[in-house]
Amino acid sequence: MHRALLIALCGLTIPVLAAGPAPEIISPQVKTCVSKAVEWLLKQQQESGLFSEQKSNQKPRPGDIPSHSAAMTALAIMGLASVGHLPGNPTPEGAAAERALKFIVDNVEPDENGYLGRSDRSRMYGHGIITLMLTEMLGMSASEETDKKVRAMTEKAIRLIIRAQQTPKSEANRGGWRYEPSSSDSDISVSVWQLMSLRAAKNSGIEVPKEAIDNAVAYIKRSYRAERDSNGQLKQTEAAFSYEPYGGRQTFSTTAAGLLSLQVAGQYDVPEVLGSSNWLLKFPPEVNEPWFFYGCYYYAQGMYQRGGDHAATARQKTEQMLVASQSPEGAWFPRNGNEKSAGPVYATALSLLSLSVYHHFLPIYQK
C-alpha cells in the first residue's frame, strides 16, 4: 500500500461529507508521553540501523546479527509508524524508520524457505513480528530498491507461515504455530503473530489461501475456555483464552491476544469475541503482572476494535497505566519475570502501539 493511499485511508485528507463521527481527542498528557517515547527510542538506534539499548560499535554481519535484534527493530518500526513516523518521511523520525527497515532487509537472511527467525535467533516469534512489519511497510520506503526487497521477503515469509501451518499436528494443535516451522504443537502467543501477518498480507494483495486463515481462526477459538453444553453452545457470557487449547495459563495477555486476532480476521461478533472482551472488563491488566507490555498492546488494540464501553474503558485504563509508568527519559521498563529481560526498546515500542489506537496509521489495526 503506497503512502498516499494510506494517508487517504487514515482520514487525513479533506472529508468529502460534512457529516460523520467527530475525531478522537488525544489528551495533552498522552501526546507528551508519545513524543518523549519517540525521542527516547531514536536515541537507541545504532549506526547500523537496529534499535537496542545495548550500545555496540560492532557492525552486524548479514545473517548473523545480535540476538532478537531484527524482531526488536521490527517492533520499533511499527511503534514509530503507528504514531505517524513512516519510513521515507522527510523528518528525523522518518529517516530513523527508513534506516531500520534497510537494516532488516540487508541483514536478515531468510533460509531457502523464507524463514526470518534464524538470523537473530528469534524463531517463529520473530518471524511473525518481522513479517507483520514488512507487510505494513509495503510501498512505504523512499528507496525503490528497499521496497523491492521488502516485497520479496514478505512474499517468501508468508509462504513459510502457510507451509509451517501445514505441518502434521494433533486435532487440538491443527491450524496453529509454535517455536519453529516444523513444530508439531502450537500456542496462542506464537500463533496470533502469524495470523495477523496472513491477514495483513491478504489486505495488501498478497495471495493467502482462505483455508489458512480459517484454520488459524479455528485454532484460536479452540483456546477459548468457556464451558459448552451437549450441543457445543457456550454456557458462559465471559471467559478467557488459554495459552494452549488443552490447558495452560489463562491470563489477560492470552485473552487479549485471542480477542485482537479474531477481530483482525473479521470475526467481530462471534461469542468468543463477546465473551473475552467481557472477561477483560472484569479482569483488566495491571502494570506489575507478567507479560504486561505484550498483553497491553493486544488489550488496547483488541478492546478498541470491540468499540463502545469496552473501548472507552480500555483506553482510560491503558493511558492511565502507561502515562504513570513511563520513566522521566521517555522509556518503559518491564518489571516482571521473563519480560524483564526483553528490555526497554521492546516495552517502549509496544507502549507506543498501545497508545496509538486513535492515530489509525497502520492498516492492520484500522476498523
pLDDT in tens, 139-152: 999 899 999 999 99
Say if 298 falls within a structural domain. Answer: yes
Quick one: pLDDT at residue 7? 31
DSSP assignments along 66-105, one per residue: STTHHHHHHHHHHHHHHTT--TT-SSHHHHHHHHHHHHHH
For residue 320, give every residue at least 6 positions away whose Cβ sits within 8 Å of its Cβ, in sequence order, or none.
none
Mean pLDDT of 106-125: 96
How confident is the model over 59-72, as pLDDT tens digits? 888 888 999 999 99
**In terms of DSSP H, where are the helices of the chain?**
3-9, 28-43, 69-82, 92-107, 123-136, 144-165, 188-203, 210-222, 252-264, 271-282, 292-306, 308-325, 337-340, 344-355
Please indicate, yes or no, if residue 184 is contained in any of the structural domains.
yes
Pairwise CA distance, residues 192 & 208, whole Å: 16
In a domain, 126, yes or no: yes
Position 11 in a domain: no
Q: Is residue 2 part of a domain?
A: no
- pLDDT tens, residue by residue, 261-281: 999 999 999 999 999 999 999
Print the domain residue range for 291.
Answer: 28-48+63-365
Q: What is the average per-residue pLDDT within 205-227? A: 95
- pLDDT of 167 higher than 70: yes
* pLDDT, tens digit (0-9, with 9 covering 90-100), for 310-328: 999 999 999 999 999 999 9
Q: Quick check: is 196 in a domain?
A: yes
What whole-number distance in Å separates Cα of residue 200 and Cα of residue 216? 14
Return the CATH number at 69: 1.50.10.20
Total domains present in the chain: 1
CB distance 219 to 186 below 8 Å: yes
The rounded distance, in Å, linking the Cα atoms of 51 and 47 is 9
What pTM value is reported for the model? 0.90
Total residue length of the chain:
367
85, part of any domain: yes
In a domain, 323, yes or no: yes
pLDDT, mean of residues 174-193:
97
